[in-house]
Amino acid sequence: VQLQASGGGLVQAGGSLRLSCVVSGSPFSTLRINSMGWYRQTPGKQRELVATIASGGSPNYADPVKGRFTISGDNAKKSVYLQMNNLTPEDTAVYYCNADLLEWQSDGTPVAGNYWGQGTLVTVSS
């Protein structure tokens, strides 16, 4: 299973960015995504939750991003998105997507797993 994140970049304070993350697996397996989310990390700090969304469920946001960020998912595309508006320099971080899923192997065996993308850098200038 691989998660590919994209959409990071440099933006001025008050601007917007949209992050995307797509999950892919073996051609011989079937994926069922339970939840996906975004986390972020700055140097010297622990990775922190930004937003998560469960399949068929309501989104969950960290307090610092409530009202500014919107998470959405597309199960058919096995993708999750993060629309970030009114960005501030405090949002500068490497953003990681995360997926909690079941993968059915070719022999029918389900394997549960939690996976991370490679991270995409968001830099907000003042």
Per-residue pLDDT tens over the stretch 63-93: 999 999 999 999 889 999 999 999 999 999 9
**Phi and psi of 23, rounded to 5°?**
-100, 135
Residues found in the chain: 126
Distance CA 53, CA 34 (A): 9
Per-residue pLDDT tens over the stretch 14-46: 999 999 999 998 777 888 999 999 999 999 999
Strand partners, 122: 9, 93
* Residues 6 or more apart in contact with residue 63 via CB below 8 angstroms: none
CA separation, residue 70 to residues 51, 52, 66, 108, 109 (Å): 8, 10, 8, 35, 35
Strand partners, 96: 39
Matching residue, tokens 């440099």: 10
Say if residues 50 and 43 touch (Cβ distance below 8 Å). Answer: no
Span 49-63, average pLDDT? 94
